[in-house]
Amino acid sequence: MIAGILNFFDALIATIRDVLPIVAIIFGFQLFVLRRRIPNLQQLLIGFAFVIVGLAFFLQGLEQALFPLGKMMAEQLTAPTFLGIDSTADTYTPDWHYYVWVYIFAAAIGFSTTIAEPSLIAVAIMANQVSGGAVGIRGLRVAVAIGVSIGIALGTYRIVSGTPLHYYIIAGYVVVMMQTLVTPKTIVALAYDSGGVTTSTVTVPLVTALGLGLASNIPGRNPLLDGFGLIAFASLFPIMSVMAYAQLSEWYANRIKKQRLDSQEE
Amino acid sequence: MDSVKDLMPIIVVIGFFQLVVLRQPIPNLADLLIGTTLVVVGLTLFIYGLKTGLFPIGETMAHGFARKGSIFWLLTFAFALGFGTTVAEPALIAVAAEAGKIAAAGHMIENTEVAIADYANGLRLTVALSVGLAILVGVLRIIRGWPLHFLIIGGYAGVVLMTGFAPPEIIGIAYDSGGVTTSTITVPLVTALGVGLSSSVHGRNPLTDGFGLVAFASLTPMIFVMGYGMLL
C-alpha cells in the first residue's frame, strides 16, 4: 500500500515535469506578450490540476495493471515454442498458422488501446463540438480504432515476412492521396489529424513490446531494425479508415435522401 | 462512467488471451483491479480537466493573438509550443536513446557512451525543432487559408524522397518518430489553438481549417530524422 502511494507520487512528479514547459510557455506569452488577464483563471487552474492528477492516476494504473500483463502476453505469444520455431534450424520459412493468434492479438490490442487513448478522446470531443454534432464522438473513435487494428496487424505481418517497411508506407500514402480527392472536404483535416493522435500513452508501450518480441524471436530478424515500424502503421491506417467512414456516411445519407425523394414522387 | 466503457475492450482482450489462448490464470488479480480502478478514475479526471482547463486556455490564447494582430508573436508562440512540448516528451527520449544504440550497432557513430548520448540528444533537438516548425507552418496555413492536402502531399513527397537517400538503419525509427511526438497534453492544446484561430480569423471554417496541426507535427519529424541520419 505504501509502495503504491510512493509510486503514485513518482508518477505525479513525472507528469508535473512534463507539463511544466507547457505551463511556462502559456503563462509567459499570456503575461509578457498578450499582456491580458486570463479570464476565469481560477477555473483554468483547477482544470489544469485535474489534468495533471488524472494523467498521473491513469499512468500509475496502467503501469500497475495493464502494462505488465499486456507485455507478458506479447512475449508469450511471440515465444519460439508458441510460434513453433526451431531455434537450431538455419533456414526459416514462416508458417502462417502459428502466427494467427499473433495477428489477432495485434488487431485486438490495437483496437482496444486506441479506444482508451486520452488524446483521441480529446480530439473527438473537439470535432464533435466544432461540427455541431455531425461528427459523432464514438463513431470517430471506433473508425480510428479500426484503422489502428488493421495497421498493427499488417505491421506484425511485415515483421514476420521481413518485407521493407517503406513499401507499405509509400503504398499507404498513395491510397491516402486518392481518398483525399473523393472524400467530403470537411473531414479531410480531421482524418489527417487522427493519424497522429492515435499513438500515445496507452498504445505505444504495448505495441512496442509486441514488435520487439516478434523481431527478436524470429530467425533472421534484427530487433533493432525490424522491431520498429508498428507505430508508423498505426498512424497511417486511421487516416484511411476515417476517410472511409466519412465516405460511407455520406453515401448512406445520400441514399436515404434519394429514397425519400423517390417516395415523394410516387 | 463513460471511462469504464472506454476501458472494457482492453480488459476483454487481455482476459480472453490470458484465459482462452494462453490458458493461464490471471496473476495478481488484486493489483489488476486496483490498477484498473486508478485508470478509470484518472481518465475521468483528465477528461473533466480537458474541458475546464486545456480547451479553454488554448482557445483563449488563439483569440488573444487574433485580437493583438501580430503574426510575428503568434508564430513565435506556435514554434515555442511545438518545440517546448516535444523536447521534454518521455516517449521521444526513449526513442532517441534507442536510435543511438542502432546507430552505434550500425557503425554510423563510435560505440562509446558519450557518442551515443550525443547522437540521442541531437536527434531529440532535431525532432523538437521539426515539431516547432510544423506548428509554425500549420498556424501560418490557417491564417493564409492554404488547403491542407497540398502541404500534406508535399510532406509525403518529402518523406518518400528522403527514404530513397537515408541510411536503411534509420528508416524504421524515423517513421515511428512521427507517431510518438504528439503527447496527451500537447494534442488537446494544439487542437484548441487551431480551432480557436480558425474561428477568429475571418473566412476560415473551424472544421476544415482548424484541424491539421497534429498531422503536420507527425509528418515533419519523419523527414528531419532521416535528414539527421544522412548528415551523421
B65 contacts on A by Cβ (under 8 Å): 34
Are both A37 and A140 inside the same structural domain?
Answer: no
- Pair B57, A26: CB distance under 8 Å: yes
What CA–CA distance (Å, rounded) separates A71 from A62? 11
CA angle B217–B219–B221, rounded 5-degree value: 80
Q: Which of A54, A130, A169 sits opposite B43 (nearest CB)?
A: A54
Amino acid (1-letter code) at residue B45: L
What CA–CA distance (Å, rounded) separates A80 from A75? 10
- Pair B85, B128: CB distance under 8 Å: no
**Domain span at A138:** 78-265
- Pair B122, B228: CB distance under 8 Å: yes
Would you call A36 helix, strand, or coil by DSSP?
coil
Q: Does the pTM exceed 0.90?
A: no
Q: Which helix (H) or strand (E) holds B208?
A: none
Q: What is the pLDDT of residue B184?
A: 82
CA angle B25–B28–B33, rounded 5-degree value: 105
**Boundary of a domain, candidates A49, A69, A89:** A69
Q: Which helix (H) or strand (E) holds A245?
A: helix A230-265
pLDDT digits (tens, 9 = 90+) for A205-224: 788 888 888 888 887 787 77
| Dihedral over Cα of A183, A186, A189, A194: its sign | negative
Q: How far is A266 from chain B (nearest CA, A)?
A: 38
ipTM of model: 0.88
Are both A94 and A196 inside the same structural domain?
Answer: yes
What CA–CA distance (Å, rounded) separates A150 from A214? 17
Look at residues B64, B154, B56 and name the one whose alpha carbon lies nearest to residue A177. B154
Q: How far is A21 from chain B (nearest CA, A)?
A: 6
**Boundary of a domain, candidates A69, A92, A116:** A69
What CA–CA distance (Å, rounded) separates B165 from B175? 14
Tally A–B CB contacts below 8 A.
342
Tally of residues, chain A: 266
Number of domain units in chain A? 2
State whether A189 and B101 contact (CB < 8 Å): no
Q: Does the CB of A228 have a partner CB in chain B at under 8 Å? A: yes
pLDDT band at residue A203 under the 50/70/90 scheme = confident
State whether A193 and B12 contact (CB < 8 Å): no
Are both A122 and A234 inside the same structural domain?
Answer: yes
Are both A41 and A107 inside the same structural domain?
Answer: no
Tally of residues, chain B: 232
Backbone angle region of B107, left / alpha / beta, with phi > 0 → left and psi within -120 to 50 → alpha:
left
State whether B185 and A55 contact (CB < 8 Å): yes
Are both A87 and A42 inside the same structural domain?
Answer: no
Look at residues A194, A224, A212, A201 and name the one whose alpha carbon lies nearest to residue B173. A224
Cβ neighbours of residue A214 closer than 8 Å, sequence gap 6 or more: A78, A102, A156, A159, A160, A221, A226, A227
A73 contacts on B by Cβ (under 8 Å): 14, 17-18, 22
Q: Does the CB of A229 have a partner CB in chain B at under 8 Å? A: yes
Chain A, 80 to 99: residues with Cβ < 8 Å from chain B are none
Are both A255 and A133 inside the same structural domain?
Answer: yes
Are both A171 and A60 inside the same structural domain?
Answer: no
For chain A, what percent of residues have pLDDT higher than 90?
30
* A16's grid cell: 508535473
* A125's grid cell: 470531443
Place of cell 455520406: A250
Q: Does the CB of A116 have a partner CB in chain B at under 8 Å? A: yes
* B172's grid cell: 524504421
pLDDT digits (tens, 9 = 90+) for A89-126: 555 565 666 788 889 999 999 999 999 889 899 999 99
Are both A126 and A37 inside the same structural domain?
Answer: no
Are both A232 and A172 inside the same structural domain?
Answer: yes
- Pair B14, B28: CB distance under 8 Å: no
Q: Which of A43, A58, A195 sits opposite B46 (nearest CB)?
A: A58
Which of the residue ranges A78-82, A140-144, A186-190, B84-88 has the most confident prediction, judged by mean pLDDT? A140-144
**Boundary of a domain, candidates A48, A69, A90:** A69
Q: How far is B14 from chain A (nearest CA, A)?
A: 7
A46 contacts on B by Cβ (under 8 Å): 49, 52-53
pLDDT digits (tens, 9 = 90+) for A36-71: 777 788 888 899 899 999 988 988 888 888 788 888
Chunked into runs of 10 residues, chain B (232 residues) has average pLDDT values of 83 86 80 88 91 89 86 92 84 79 78 86 91 94 89 92 88 83 83 92 87 91 90 78
Q: Which residue of B has its CA nearest to A201?
A: B184
Q: How far is CA A196 from CA A123, B86, B182, in A?
A: 11, 14, 7
Give yes or no for residue A243 having a pLDDT over 90. yes
Are both A86 and A160 inside the same structural domain?
Answer: yes
Are both A63 and A96 inside the same structural domain?
Answer: no
Are both A113 and A233 inside the same structural domain?
Answer: yes
Q: What is the pLDDT of residue A241?
A: 95
Give yes or no for residue A225 having a pLDDT over 80. no
